[in-house]
Amino acid sequence: MKLSLLLFILYRKLKRAVRVNRDYRSHIGMVRLKILIKTANGKRGRLFIFDRGTLSTRTGGGHQSDAALVWSDASTGFRVMASGSDEESFRAAAEGKLRVEGMAYYIQWFTDGIKLVMK
Amino acid sequence: MADIKAGHLVAKYLKEVEKIDTVFGISGGHIESMLDGFTEYSIRTIDVRHEQAAAMMAHAYSVYTGRPGVCFLTAGPGFTNGLTGIANAYMDNVPLVVLCGRHPLRDDLKGALQEMNQIDMVKPITKWAATCYDARRIPEYMAIAFRNAATGRPGPVFLELPPDILNITIPMESAPMPAKATRNYAVVPADEELTAAADIINNAKQPLFLGGTGVGFSSCSDCLGAFVEKTGIPFMLLNYGRGELPDTHPLSIWDCGNVGLLVTLGQADVIVAAGLRFNWLFMSGDVIPAAAKVVRIDIDPREIDRNRKADAGLVGDIGSVLGRLLPLVEKKDRGEWVRTLRAASYSFIDSELKARLMASDPIHPIRLVAKIQEVVGEDALYVVDGGDTSYFGQVGLFTKQKAGVIGSASGLLGCLGTGIPFGIAAKLARPDTPVVVLNGDGSFGFNSMEFDTMVRHNIPVVVVVNNDCAWGMIKHSQEMSIGGERLQCAELGTRRYDLMVEGLGGHGEFVTKDEEIVPALRRALASGKPACVNVMTDPTVTSPATPLFYQSLKME
Ligand SMILES: Cc1ncc(C[n+]2csc(CCOP(=O)(O)OP(=O)(O)O)c2C)c(N)n1
Ligand SMILES: [Mg+2]
C-alpha cells in the first residue's frame, strides 16, 4: 500500500515537473519510453509513459515496458525508493531484492530525472 | 665500396635495426624504390585495397606485437586516404610509423603530380612529422621516427620521403645504421606519491582497478597479476589493456559488463586508474563519485589530473610503477566486496544475461555473441566494430589472450571500419589463433574490400556480420531525439554480404535462425578461408551505449 502511494506521489511530482521544471522538461526531451516499477509478483506497480515531452501513467504491475524496476516485495521497494539512496539500491540489488528487466540505462535515466526534480 | 639505392636504406633500417617483419600499404610511383627495398630485405608486404586499411592494420599490428607498426603510403591520394587511420592511431595512443611519398622537391610549386603540403595536414594528428632532405640521413630520420612513436605516450609519426632522395644511389657507408634499435627508458614515480598511493589503497574498503591502453603497451601481466592478487582489488581492463590478464581471472569484472562497471564505480571508495583516460566514456570523470579517492598511474604526467584531480599521481610505465607499489601494499581478501558488486551488477543486467541463454526469433545480437563465444571459445582473438554491435561484442566476448577483445569504434575517434583491418593484423601477428571480427552491417561496408587482401594473402579471418539492416546506433538514437517516423540516413537494406565475399574468393554463410548460427560458424572456421557469416538480427534491439551516446550530445 505504502509503495503504491509512493509511486502515485512520485507520478504527481514528475507530472508537475513536466509543466514547471525547465531542467526536467529538457531531461525528458522527445524521448518515448515506458518505465515500469513493480513488485515481483506483479500485484503492485505503476507505469510511467514518456511520450515526446508528455508524461502519463497506468496503475498496476502487468504492463509492457522498455525497462522495469522489479522489487522483491513492496516494503523493500518503499524503503529503498523513499531513501533515494544509490547505496541502498546497490545493496538491495546485491541481496536479490531489486532487479532490472530491460535496459538498466533507461532506469538510470528515469532515476536521474527524479533526482533533478527532488533537488 | 658498396653502393645502395636510398629507397633500400629504408627497408634496411626496418629489417636490420628494428627487426620489422611486415609492412602494410599500397604501391605508387613515388615510393617505388622503397618497395624494391622491401623485396631486397625480405620484408613481408601486405598490399591492401584502401590506404585507410593499411594504417589501421599497422596500428593493430603494433597492438598485437607490442612493437611499432609500419605502413607506407604513396603521395597525394595515398596520403589523404591514410589520414583516418593515422588520426585513429593518434587518438588511441598507438605507435605507428607512416612512411610516405611526396612530389619531387625539384618540382615544388610547378604543379607536380600530387603536389600538396602533406606535413601541415598531418601535423595535428601525429606526435612527430618531418621530411627527409638528404639520402645519407635516412637511417637517422628513421631512428628519430621510431623513437618518437614508441617512447613516452606512444603515437603515430610521419616521415615524408621525396623521390629526389629515394631514387638516388649513395655509398653505403655514407648512411651508417644506428647501433641499437629504439628502446624505452624507465620513468619512475616519486617516492612520496608511492607512499600516498599505498596508504590510500591499504585503507580502501571498496576499491576498483581500471586499466587502459597503457597497461597493454606496458606488457605488465606479471606485475599486474601480482598487484591485484595481493591487494584483492577487482579490476576491469579496457581498450588495448584488455586481456593483459585473462577476462576469466576471478577478480576481473568483465562478466558484469559496462553496466556493472558504472554500478560499481558509483559505490567505489578508491579508484586506481592505470594508463586510462577519463574521457567521454567516463563522462570526463563525472562518473567517479566526488567522495572517492583516485590514484592515477600514467606515463604522461599531463594525464594525472586530467578531468579529475588525483589523490596520488604516479608517473611511469604501468609495470614498473606497479612493481614499486607492490611491496608497499598490504595483502587483503576483498571477497565480500567482489561478491557484492557482482551480485548487484547481475541484477541490473538480468535481461541481457537471460537473452544470451534463450533462442530468439529474430536473433538478439547478444544471443549471437553468446553463440560465437560458445563455438570459438576463450583462446581466440576477437575484434568488434560497429555501434550497438561494439557494445554487445565487448560485453559478451571473453578471452585469455592479450588484447583478446578489442574495438576501436568504442575508443576516442569512434571510427567505424576498423574491424576487418584489425582482424587481419590479429591473424598475421598470431597465425595459430582463431580470429573473429564481429562487425555491424554498416561498419562492414567501409573496409570489406579487404576480403580481397585476405584471399590474396591467405589470411583466414572469420567476420560475423550482426546485420540489423541499419546504422543501428544512429537509428535508435534518432528514435529518441527526432522520432522514429523521421529517420534520416539511418537505414540499410537486407544485403547478402556473404555472397559478396564468396565472389571475392572467400567462404560465405547466411543465417536467419537461431539454430543455424552454430553450424554456420563451425563451417566458416573449418573452411580455412576468409569467411563472412552474415546473420540477420533483431532490428529493434538497441544497446545501453546508444542512450549514453545520445545523452552526450544533448545540449538543451
Ligand atoms: C567512419 C564513421 N562514420 C560514421 C560514424 C557515425 N556512426 C556512429 S555509430 C554508427 C552506426 C553503426 O552502424 P553498424 O556498424 O551497422 O552498427 P550497429 O549500430 O547497427 O550495431 C554511425 C554511422 C562513425 N562513428 N564513424
Ligand atoms: Mg547495423
Q: Distance between CA atoms of A14 and A55, rounded to whole angstroms?
A: 8
Q: What residue ranges define each of the domains in chain B, with the CATH number in brackets? A: 3-174 (3.40.50.970), 191-345 (3.40.50.1220), 356-552 (3.40.50.970)
CA dihedral B249, B250, B251, B254 (to 10 degrees): 70
Q: Which one of B479, B483, B544 has the shortest CB-CB distance to A103? A: B544
Give the closest residue to B84 by CA, choosing from B418, B384, B389.
Answer: B418
pLDDT value of residue B181? 86
Return d(Cα A4, Cα A43) in angstroms, integer: 10
User: And the C-alpha cell for B423?
Assistant: 582482424
Query: Which of left, alpha, beta for B32 (phi over 0: left; psi -120 to 50: alpha)?
Result: alpha
CB of B298 shorter than 6 A to ligand 1: no
Residue A4 is predicted with a pLDDT of: 94
**pLDDT tens-digit profile, chain B (556 residues):** 699 999 999 999 999 999 999 999 999 999 999 999 999 999 999 999 999 999 999 999 999 999 999 999 999 999 999 999 999 999 999 999 999 999 999 999 999 999 999 999 999 999 999 999 999 999 999 999 999 999 999 999 999 999 999 999 999 999 999 988 888 888 899 999 999 999 999 999 999 999 999 999 999 999 999 999 999 999 999 999 999 999 999 999 999 999 999 999 999 999 999 999 999 889 899 999 999 999 999 999 999 999 999 999 999 999 999 999 999 999 999 999 999 999 999 999 999 999 999 999 999 999 999 999 999 999 999 999 999 999 999 999 999 999 999 997 557 899 999 999 999 999 999 999 999 999 999 999 999 999 999 999 999 999 999 999 999 999 999 988 888 889 999 999 999 999 999 999 999 999 999 999 999 999 999 999 999 999 999 999 999 888 877 777 888 7
| Alpha-carbon dihedral B274, B278, B282, B284, rounded to 10 degrees | 160
- Residue A84: enclosing H or E segment and its boundaries? none
Question: Which atom from ligand 1 is nearest to the alpha carbon of B417?
Answer: 1
B401 in Cβ contact with B348 (< 8 Å): no
At B345 the pLDDT is 97
Dihedral angle at the C-alpha atoms of A105, A107, A112, A118, nearest 10 degrees? 180
pLDDT of residue B410: 57
- pLDDT-based confidence at residue A69 (cuts at 50, 70, 90): very high
Which one of A30, A93, A105 has the shortest CB-CB distance to B347? A93
Cβ of A105 within 8 Å of Cβ of B343? The answer is no
Please provide the distance, in angstroms rounded to a whole number, between the alpha carbons at the two ends of chain B. 73
**Cβ atoms A26, A119 nearer than 8 A:** no
- Closest partner residue to A105 (CB to CB) among B340, B548, B556 is B548
CB-based neighbours (< 5 A) of ligand 2, an ion: B 440-442, 468, 470, 472
Tell if the CB–CB gap between A93 and B556 is shorter than 8 Å: no
Question: What's the pLDDT at B409?
Answer: 58
Q: Give the Cα separation of B120 and B362 in Å (integer).
A: 50
DSSP letters of A4-44? HHHHHHHHHHHHHHHHH-HHHHHHHTT-EEEEEEEETTSSS
Class of domain A2-112: alpha beta
Crossing angle (nearest 10°) for helices B191-202 and B318-325: 70
Which chain A residue shows the shortest CA-CA distance from B547? A105
Could you read off the pLDDT of A39-48 as tens digits, one per residue?
999 999 999 9
Residue A15, Cβ neighbours under 10 Å: how many?
A: 14
User: What is the distance in angstroms between the CA of the first residue and the CA of the last residue of chain A?
Assistant: 26
- Ordered by start, the domain boundaries in chain A are 2-112
Contact B159, B31 (CB under 8 A): no
The pTM of this model reads 0.96
Interface mutation vs chain B, best among A34, A103, A107, A112, most B CBs within 10 Å: A103
Kindly give, in sequence order, each residue whose CB lies less than 8 Å from that of residue B279, ignoring residues fewer than 6 positions away: B307, B412
Residues 6+ positions from B405 with CB-CB distance below 8 Å: B242, B243, B247, B382, B383, B384, B393, B394, B397, B398, B399
d(CA B524, CA B530): 8
Chain B residues inside the 8 Å CB shell of A99: 347-348, 350
Distance (Å, rounded) from C-alpha A5 to C-alpha A8? 5
ipTM of the complex model: 0.94
For ligand 1, mutation pick of B366, B392, B471, B534 (most atoms within 8 Å of CB): B471
